[in-house]
């Protein structure tokens, strides 16, 4: 339905319309755009994903009034009280008391179409918070089936879990990021099926450990890297069971000062061990990181359960196919481009929040629908433009004219970026400010930088916090902490002097205090948002660099790691090149798959 696109035999270098840096459109990319009948992008990959994320608020919650007729009660929402978006509570939004088609509008052929979509977006009610079937878990967002949880985001079916993002089927966990089937885990990132684990990353089937990196099937280990089926090791030194428990007493993890000391020692220690260039399991002809069962795909990240013929996809599962520039997709989604959250969908272009729908273009929050163009919140409908329904023949006749109109009279934002057909929504029509969204997590910027880039910025609102405990006065050990701490307003150690959505102050809820005591963990000195950003910093960026394996034969290139077994290339340096998320100027030792497997069997 789009304009004809002709592929070229070699890659083409272009300047990103947003950051002005060069990026390359490869021949296979042109082939995909031709197949989908869409023009190639004018923004680079990083800017494209940030643009989509500027429409996704996961973690910033407010209290505001419900706008539904006859309501007005206070509710928890991702939309601030001064946000112009019309907001309904969950039950009212899904109810039959209103219809999205009541807000339908005719196409104004004298104005940019995306400007009309932006105006419609503000008029059509949105749901205050996506929090399905919570039990005592009101302060959670984009979640389902959580019980006794607090500030859990994007995670489902957890119990007694707090301050966690992308946590699933976990119990009694806190301050985690990407945790599946965890129990009593604290400050872990990218872990699965672990219990009683602390301060660890990339671990699976581990228990009773702390400060572990890339360990599998281990228990009673401390400060270790690259272990498989081991126990009673401290900083990769083997001990007997009796020696282990005697030596482990030297490390006081009930003290914040003690934890910080071990964190530094651990960071230095794991730099002495090789890293896998990328986690690519049961995959062929694919590049990226954290990939499972992926085929013929490029520059993809965090894909599990299968993907084929995809590019530039982030966060997906369940056999997706023919997707470019999509994120948070699954359930056999296919044929999509520059879209976010497809569960499932087919032929979804430049859209957000598509559920069981197909042939969706420039639309948001579409459910069980088909053939929508520029629609907001439409459910169980088809052949709609700007929430106005048309006969099938008229709808199909309007599309070529509308696509041409988007190029003839494009949307131009306030900093001069042009949005023709083939561009995602302009960030300035997002219902959220940049610093409320995931965009600030991927690319943290200051207010001044955001303003220069044309993004909306939400000013800090004085919430009247009266700090009663300064950051430097927080008790160092949990045993010295009295019950009254739950009544105090604690200063965040960053004091707002960061780009981490700092709240400047925070409270300790009673269930949280009980958790710290049961786990013998010291109180945090940072607010939940700053702690979240500390976990994000442990993950590699969504960027690939071409590098050479750093195995020099019998040891690593920098001499810090001595190989434990002969490699296929002998004592000469490995010559394998790869694409990796480890930038060339980083300190980690990065090995190719073969060299890594030789060392970490």
Q: What are 552-565's pLDDT values in tens digits?
A: 999 999 999 999 99
Using the predicted structure, report yes or no on whether residue 519 has a pLDDT greater than 50.
yes
CA atoms within 13 A on the CB side of 322: 14
Tokens linked to 402: 């509308």
Q: Is the dihedral of CA 78, 83, 85, 88 positive or negative?
A: positive
Name every residue whose Cβ is closer than 8 Å to that of residue 320 and which is 6 or more positions away in sequence. 303, 306, 307, 308, 310, 313, 326, 329, 330, 332, 333, 334
What angle, 0 to 180 degrees and rounded to 10, lies between the N-to-C axes of helices 113-123 and 392-408?
120
Using the predicted structure, report yes or no on whether residue 158 has a pLDDT greater than 50.
yes
Q: What are phi and psi of 256, to 5 degrees?
A: -65, -40
User: How confident is the model at residue 7, as a pLDDT?
Assistant: 38
Report how far residue 85's alpha carbon sits from residue 93's, in angstroms, rounded to the nearest whole number: 13
User: How confident is the model at residue 463, as a pLDDT?
Assistant: 72
Picking from 4, 49, 52, the residue whose alpha carbon sits closest to that of residue 30 is 4
Q: What percent of the chain has pLDDT over 70?
A: 98
The CA distances from residue 426 to 107, 284, 453, 491, in Å, are 19, 35, 12, 37
Report how far residue 118's alpha carbon sits from residue 456's, in angstroms, rounded to the nearest whole number: 14
The CA distances from residue 307 to 103, 322, 359, 546, in Å, are 38, 8, 20, 23
Using the predicted structure, report yes or no on whether residue 23 has a pLDDT greater than 90.
yes
The average pLDDT across 351-378 equals: 98
3-state SS, residue 595: helix
User: How confident is the model at residue 302, as a pLDDT?
Assistant: 96
**Which residues on adjacent β-strands are paired with residue 62?**
77
- Estimate to the nearest angstrom the gap between the alpha carbon of 91 and the chain centroid: 27
User: How confident is the model at residue 77, as a pLDDT?
Assistant: 98
CB 161 within 8 A of CB 154: no
Using the predicted structure, report yes or no on whether residue 2 has a pLDDT greater than 80.
no
Helix (H) or strand (E) holding 51: helix 45-53
Confidence of residue 3 (pLDDT cuts 50, 70, 90): very low
Using the predicted structure, report yes or no on whether residue 282 has a pLDDT greater than 70.
yes
The average pLDDT across 443-453 equals: 92
Report how far residue 26's alpha carbon sits from residue 7's, in angstroms, rounded to the nearest whole number: 9
Tokens linked to 48: 């494209």
CB 339 within 8 A of CB 326: yes
Confidence of residue 1 (pLDDT cuts 50, 70, 90): very low
Q: What are phi and psi of 29, to 5 degrees?
A: -65, -45
Report how far residue 560's alpha carbon sits from residue 562's, in angstroms, rounded to the nearest whole number: 7
Using the predicted structure, report yes or no on whether residue 5 has a pLDDT greater than 50.
no
Name every residue whose Cβ is closer than 8 Å to that of residue 322 and which is 6 or more positions away in sequence. 32, 35, 36, 308, 309, 310, 334, 335, 336
Q: What percent of the chain has pLDDT over 90?
A: 95
Length of the chain: 601
Picking from 511, 560, 546, the residue whose alpha carbon sits closest to that of residue 137 is 511
Token look-up 């009663």 returns 468
Condensed to tens digits (0 to 9), the pLDDT of residues 191-211 reads 999 999 999 999 999 999 999
Name every residue whose Cβ is closer than 8 Å to that of residue 251 and which is 6 or more positions away in sequence. 222, 258, 262
The average pLDDT across 514-543 equals: 96
Q: What are phi and psi of 73, to 5 degrees?
A: -70, 160
Condensed to tens digits (0 to 9), the pLDDT of residues 52-83 reads 999 999 999 999 999 999 999 999 999 999 99
DSSP 193-253: S-EEEEEEEEEES-EEEEEEES-BS-EEEEEEES-BS-EEEETTEE--HHHHHHHGGG--T
Burial tier of 448 (Cβ tally within 10 Å: 0-12, 13-18, 19+) = exposed
User: How confident is the model at residue 348, as a pLDDT?
Assistant: 98
Confidence of residue 524 (pLDDT cuts 50, 70, 90): very high
Q: What is the largest CA-CA distance in the chain?
A: 80
Using the predicted structure, report yes or no on whether residue 168 has a pLDDT greater than 70.
yes
User: How confident is the model at residue 10, as a pLDDT?
Assistant: 63
User: How confident is the model at residue 468, as a pLDDT?
Assistant: 97
Mean pLDDT (the chain) is 95
CB 409 within 8 A of CB 401: no
User: How confident is the model at residue 177, as a pLDDT?
Assistant: 97
User: How confident is the model at residue 460, as a pLDDT?
Assistant: 78
The average pLDDT across 352-362 equals: 97
User: How confident is the model at residue 464, as a pLDDT?
Assistant: 74
């Amino acid at each position: 339905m789009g304009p004809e696109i002709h592929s070229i035999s070699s890659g083409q270098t272009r300047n990103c319309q947003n950051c002005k840096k060069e990026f390359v459109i490869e021949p296979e990319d042109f082939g995909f755009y031709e197949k989908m009948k869409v023009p190639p992008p004018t923004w680079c990959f990083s800017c494209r994903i940030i643009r989509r994320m500027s429409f996704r608020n996961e973690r910033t919650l407010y209290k505001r009034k419900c706008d539904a007729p006859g309501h007005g009660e206070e509710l928890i929402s991702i939309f601030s009280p001064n946000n112009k978006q019309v907001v309904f509570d969950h039950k009212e939004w899904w109810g039959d008391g209103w219809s999205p088609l009541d807000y339908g509008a005719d196409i104004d052929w004298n104005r940019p179409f995306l400007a009309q979509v932006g105006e419609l977006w503000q008029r059509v009610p949105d749901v205050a918070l996506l929090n399905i079937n919570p039990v005592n878990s009101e302060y959670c967002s984009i979640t389902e089936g959580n019980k006794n949880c607090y500030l859990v985001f994007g995670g489902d079916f957890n119990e007694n879990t707090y301050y966690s993002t992308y946590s699933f089927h976990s119990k009694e966990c806190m301050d985690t990021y990407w945790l599946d089937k965890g129990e009593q885990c604290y400050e872990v990132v990218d872990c699965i099926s672990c219990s009683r684990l602390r301060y660890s990353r990339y671990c699976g089937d581990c228990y009773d450990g702390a400060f572990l990196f890339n360990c599998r099937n281990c228990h009673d280990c401390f400060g270790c890297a690259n272990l498989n089926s081991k126990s009673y090791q401290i900083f990769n030194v083997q001990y007997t069971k009796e020696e282990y428990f005697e030596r482990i007493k030297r490390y006081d993890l009930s003290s914040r000062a003690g934890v910080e000391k071990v964190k530094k020692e651990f960071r230095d220690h794991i730099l002495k061990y090789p890293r896998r260039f990328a986690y690519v399991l049961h995959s062929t002809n694919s590049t990226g990181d954290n990939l499972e069962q992926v085929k013929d795909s490029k520059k993809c990240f965090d894909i599990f359960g299968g993907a084929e013929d995809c590019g530039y996809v982030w966060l997906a599962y369940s056999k997706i196919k023919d997707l470019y520039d999509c994120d948070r997709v699954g359930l056999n989604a296919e044929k999509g481009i520059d879209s976010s959250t497809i569960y499932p969908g087919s032929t979804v272009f430049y859209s957000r929040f598509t559920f069981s729908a197909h042939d969706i273009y420039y639309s948001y929050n579409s459910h069980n629908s088909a053939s929508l163009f520029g629609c907001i919140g439409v459910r169980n409908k088809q052949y709609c433009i700007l929430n106005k329904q048309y006969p099938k023949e008229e709808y199909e006749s309007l599309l070529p004219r509308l696509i041409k109109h988007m190029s003839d009279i494009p949307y131009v934002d306030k900093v001069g970026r042009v949005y023709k057909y083939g561009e995602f929504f302009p960030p300035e029509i997002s219902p959220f400010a940049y610093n409320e969204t995931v965009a600030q997590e991927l690319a943290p910027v200051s207010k001044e930088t955001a303003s220069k880039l044309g993004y909306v910025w939400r000013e800090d609102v004085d919430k009247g916090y009266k700090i009663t405990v300064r950051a430097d006065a927080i008790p160092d050990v949990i045993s010295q902490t009295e019950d009254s701490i739950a009544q105090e307003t604690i200063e965040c150690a960053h004091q707002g002097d960061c780009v981490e959505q700092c709240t400047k102050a925070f409270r300790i809820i009673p269930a949280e205090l009980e958790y710290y005591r049961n786990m013998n963990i010291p109180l945090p000195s940072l607010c939940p948002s700053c702690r979240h950003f500390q976990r994000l910093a442990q993950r590699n960026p969504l960027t690939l660099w071409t590098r050479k394996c750093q195995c020099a034969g019998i040891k690593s290139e920098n001499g810090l790691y001595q190989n434990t077994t002969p490699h296929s290339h002998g004592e000469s340096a490995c010559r394998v090149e790869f694409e990796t998320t480890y930038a060339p100027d980083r300190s980690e030792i990065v090995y190719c798959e073969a060299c890594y497997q030789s060392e970490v069997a």
